[in-house]
Structure 1
Amino acid sequence: MSLIQKHMLTWYLLTLLMRQKIQTRNQQPEETREEWVISIKDKMEQTLREDATTSWERLCIYRVPQYLQENDNKSYFPQTVSLGPYHHGKDHLLPMDRHKWRAVNMIMARTKQGIEMYLDAMKELEERARACYEGTIGLSSNKFTEMLFLDGCFVLELFRGADKGFSELGYDRNDPVFAMRGSMHSIQRDMVMLENQLPLFVLNRLLELQLGPQNQTGLVAQLAIRFFDPLMPTDEPLTKTDQSNIGKEKFFNPIADKDKDELHCLDVFRRNLLRPSTKPEPRLSRRRWSWKTRVADKRQQQLIHCVTELREAGIKFKARKTDRFWDIRFKNGYLEIPKLLIHDGTKSLFSNLIAFEQCHIDSSNDITSYIIFMDNLIDSPQDVSYLHYCGIIEHWLGSDLEVADLFNRLCQEVAFDPQNSYLSQLSNKVDRNYSRKWNVMKAVLKHKYFNNPWAYFSFFAALVLLVLTLFQSFFSVYPYFKPPS
């Protein structure tokens, strides 16, 4: 028998074997009606048990919805360090665990305390902490408690080192992690991801054990704000009033959020971004949910025309000097927009802030409103270039095209109601100004015919020449109608 015949025979036998398995599987008797009903009841009871162990009111650390991940999942998943259970134990994040244990050893050496006190404290918070996360967490009680302790100590060591200096905490100046260089930027970016959060009450309790209970209110929030300052999308300094209010309850009072305790580091960062101005403009409507707001339709998300169209209508742009990057004003035909810094971490930062606002029912949509407003303004690289010329946008990306692409992609699948935006009234003012025919005519004339100083000079020269010609014609014709007496 030739080699080819052997291969054909082997293939034939395998085919027969697979066919027999399929037939056997199809011939298995179908479950009875009683068994089918019992299986359905088991599924219902399992759901009831899961609901009984879930506290929806405490839920605040969410998994990013799939419809947002489809746009760019790299912006939502940590690349350097895992915090919390969602990405715990992933292979590419395990190398950082060694440095987490280094932080624990350093804390224990400084405080002269035993590890049992910390573990007992985390054990007491376990049930409350589990309720903050979405779905079932597949870690045992001891593993979950260890994770809270280890990750929390690591975060606090970073916060305190960035505040006081890592050398003051006992680290070498050339430490690969505990130094404000090297991998620190990647760590900071991972720590503001929605799926990579620890409840703030866990950090508060760990810091209280380290420093004592006295006068620690708001300290973790203060440390977090200082630590994440390099990620801020503005370089305007805080006012003295804001500096003195950091960590206080009145400091964390966003435009529309309720006065509640801070939830986690991303929430602290967001509240810091949304520090209220003197008088925020009211919304046209309160936040409400309906099937219409779930439709991610660009036509429904239109807040304002793009820069090029607004310029053609005579609307001017000016950079507004304030550290509230979202505080946009419209006065006397000028759209005043605070300066926005864009770096390689901006996309991930804004993506996670938007995801949090999409998931958390008690959150306002102010960051989402701002991003969609900027998305509407920016339709092309030319729009970015003009905003940069006005001092409104400063970026460190490769080109203006990358900036335009960033804004145009951020809110592709986001649910948004323009009437529920803090920018809705401002947008209506701009739109009324844009729609005035005289403004449009003036702008078109200026844009097409008077776009440089020589055009003005030529126009006035032609006007003078026309007037002189009219005078000459008048005096030439006048004697015929009124001859001299």
Structure 2
Amino acid sequence: MEDQNASDLINFLYEDKKLLESIDDQIKSNNHPSNKEEYTKIQKIQTIMLNRTDEDFKQNFIPRFMAIGPVHYGNTHLVNKRLKISLAAKFIGKSKGMSEQLLGKIKANIKELEDHFHANVNKYRKEDALARILFRDGLSVLQFIHCVVRKDFSGIEINNGQVVLFQNDLFLLENQIPFKVFKLLMEPPMNEEMCKPYKESLRLFIINHLMEPNSSSPKVLLEDEWYDKIKPAHLLDLLRIAFLDDMSTTKSSSEPSHETSPHNQRSAYCNIVRDKLTLLMTRLNERITVLKGSTCTKTSPGNNQRTFRNVQDLKAAGIRMKPSNTLRLKDLSFQPGCWRGTLKLRSLTVNESTELKLFNLVAYEMCGDHNNKNECGVTSYVSFLDLLIENEQDVKDLRSANILHNCLSSDVQVVDLFDKIGNIYNLVPHDDYYKEVKNQIQEHCKKNINVWFTQICENYFSSPLKVMAWVGAIVALLLTAFGTWFTIYPTD
């Protein structure tokens, strides 16, 4: 018994020592930061997102056709080695000995490439095994992207359905390899002229997956040297960079602009008139409330409670929506006007792959070490759309405004899509890019004059027939007035 107690005491002391040493090591690390470059880690989906009973939800993170990288390498149904070898051979072409040199290059940089993976991803892979995986997958992905852009799969045994599934698999968070692998494979000894079309195909491939109907290029990918300037962690990160256009010098339209333009001047005058009328109406409402003895509480200026819930609430407050005609998710703005306002936001195409991409982009931003870790631009954009979309009519109005382009079978599916994504981002707090815009909309919706003016326009001037009726009534009144005048005061 005494021996057992002594053994337990030794174990306790040993554990205490290990704990104190780990804390001391972390303190030393904080005081003397390493010069070693830190990389965004390729990791598995966070457990908090997978602790759900919805199997359809989990399918958005699992490859359906092709496993890329070490995470799903053990799934033999997803590792089509024959297809990968065919794609890799087409990339190498007729250059003898090139494959051996490229594999050697990957092995020479394997220590650096290992740092791109989280410990729970690569802890069972030896360096040589990981190098072979990255070499084969890197070559096959580059060639596949080039074939997709060129629409040429001659000599490759793959059908159209598999091409679609393969493309979707390339944007799964758990199905990534370091972008550094692509750069290593397109550096000497590979010929620069040979690699140039592959770099262009990579750029066009990302543009084609931006879920925007115009398929124009973001500024971040218009740079001549974009390939050398951008340092994405992987393909999914490159897609996110293109969405946010992080390297663009264009100021976010959600930030207040101090430029003086005729439009801004007119808006300022309208705001002054509107504020004066609003003040008068507010005082009148307060007076009526006092006379009625109402006990209703009034919203204080500092109250951040939102008074709008969806598109219908914005329409009732006189806010119309327009596409921003840009690719940046940050380009969301609200322009107040005289009793009316305009909300501009980026257009989005909703198709079969939209759910998968948005789920994985939001999941990627939840990772603590992603690039620009303090920014959650995609999550904020999805959150804002989820705020606007509550029912089918909201989707219909957004489609009419050319903000949503629905390629699904019904608008109900779009509502369900954003409800699902809303359940994800609500799990983890995130910085809201559009807080200022929401506050501006809130201030607009709180002013009763805006709602009343909109209701008057909707009830009496919403159709050409109603406008013609009002014009006819006014003309009739004027003619009656003129007739009465000339009856009382006839002219010679």
Q: TM-score, normalised by structure 1?
A: 0.72
Q: Which range moved further: 150-159 or 275-284? A: 275-284
Inter-partner Cα distance in structure 2 for 1:30 and 1:448? 85
> 2:240 aligns to what?
270
Instruction: Select between 437-446 and 108-117 the one with higher mean Cα deviation.
Output: 108-117
One-letter code aligned to 1:271: I
1:103 corresponds to = 87
The alignment's C-alpha RMSD in Å is 4.0
Q: Which runs of 5+ in 2 are unaligned?
A: 257-302
Alpha-carbon distance in structure 2 between the residues aligned to 1:471 and 1:186: 75
CA distance in 2, matches of 1:39, 1:77: 42
Offset, 1:317: 1.9
Q: Give, in whole Å, the separation in 2 of the partners of 1:372 and 1:37.
A: 48
Q: 1:352 to 1:397 in 2, by over 3 A?
A: same
- Aligned AA for 2:59? K
Which whole-Å CA distance do the structure 1 matches of 2:81 and 2:391 have between them?
Answer: 44
Aligned partner of 1:204 in structure 2 is 183
Q: Deviations over 1:415-470 (max 9, x none)?
A: 3456x41x233333222222221111112333456544444455666777889999
CA deviation digits over 1:184-238, x for unaligned, max 9? 111111101111111111111112256236896x986643232244322112243
Q: Which amino acid is 1:396 matched to?
A: C
Q: Verify: 1:309 aligned to 2:279, yes or no.
A: no
Task: Tell whether 2:109 aligns with 1:125.
Answer: yes
Cα gap change, 1:456 to 1:416, in 2 (>3 Å): farther
Deviates more, 1:399-408 or 1:335-344: 335-344
Equivalence for 1:155? 141
SS in 2 for 1:83: coil
Equivalent residue number for residue 234 of structure 1: 212
> Is the 8 Å Cα contact of residues 197 and 266 (structure 1) preserved in structure 2?
yes
| Local SS of the residue matching 1:93 | coil
Q: Is the 8 A contact 2:68 2:175 kept in 1?
A: yes
Among 401, 406, 414, the residue aligned to 2:412: 401
- The equivalences for 1:239-250 within 5 A come to 244-245=222-223, 247-248=225-226
User: Post-superposition shift, 1:250?
Assistant: 9.3
Which residue does 2:292 correspond to in 1? none
Aligned counterpart, 1:432: 443
Q: Which amino acid aligns with 2:408?
A: L
Any conservation in 1 of the 2:253–2:332 contact (CA below 8 Å)?
A: no
Q: Is the 1:434–1:440 contact (alpha carbons within 8 Å) kept by the matching residues of 2?
A: yes
Shift of residue 348 of structure 1?
0.8
Assess if the C-alpha contact under 8 Å between 1:301 and 1:372 holds in 2.
no
Query: CA offset at residue 472 of structure 1?
Result: 11
Larger Rg: 1
Q: 2:88 matched to 1:84? A: no
TM-score by length of 2: 0.71
Say whether residues 1:379 and 2:390 are aligned partners: yes
1:140 aligns with 2:121: no
Shift of 1:279: 2.6
Is residue 358 of structure 1 aligned with residue 358 of structure 2? no
Q: Which amino acid aligns with 2:43?
A: Y
Q: What SS is found at the alignment partner of 1:394?
A: strand
Residue 57 (1) aligns with residue 57 (2): no
Give the corresponding residue for 1:26. Answer: none
- Matched-pair contact (CA < 8 Å) for 1:315–1:335: yes
Indicate which of 423, 443, 446 corresponds to 2:457: 446
Name the CA distance, whole Å, in 1 between partners of 2:391 and 2:87: 47
Q: Trace 1:164-179 onto structure 2 (pairs within 5 A).
A: 164=150, 166=152, 171-172=154-155, 175-177=156-158
**CA shift for structure 1 position 371:** 0.9
**Quick one: structure 1 residues 43 and 84, their matched pair in 2 at CA, closer, same or farther if it must change by over 3 Å?**
farther
* Residues 375-411 of structure 1, C-alpha deviations (whole Å, 9 max, x = no match): 1111111100111122221111121111012112213
Distance 1:453 1:91, change over 3 A: same
Alignment-derived partner of residue 37 in structure 1: 12
- Aligned-partner SS, 2:322: strand
Contact map agreement 1:301 1:416 (CA 8 A) in 2: no
**Secondary structure in 2 aligned to 1:270?**
helix
Give the count of matched residue pairs.
Answer: 414
CA distance in 2, matches of 1:42, 1:36: 10
Deviation of the 1:367 alpha carbon: 1.2
Distance 1:374 1:119 in 2: 45
1:34: how far off? 3.9
- 1: CA distance between counterparts of 2:485 and 2:213? 65
Range moving further from structure 2, 156-165 or 116-125: 156-165
- Structure 1 regions of 5+ residues with no counterpart? 1-28, 253-260, 285-298, 479-485
Write the deviation string for residues 318-358 of structure 1: whole angstroms up to 9, x where unpaired. 23433446523333422233332111000110111112222
Q: Percent identity?
A: 23
Aligned-pair CA distance for 1:266: 1.1
Instruction: Give the 3-state SS of the residue equivalent to 1:63 in structure 2.
Output: coil
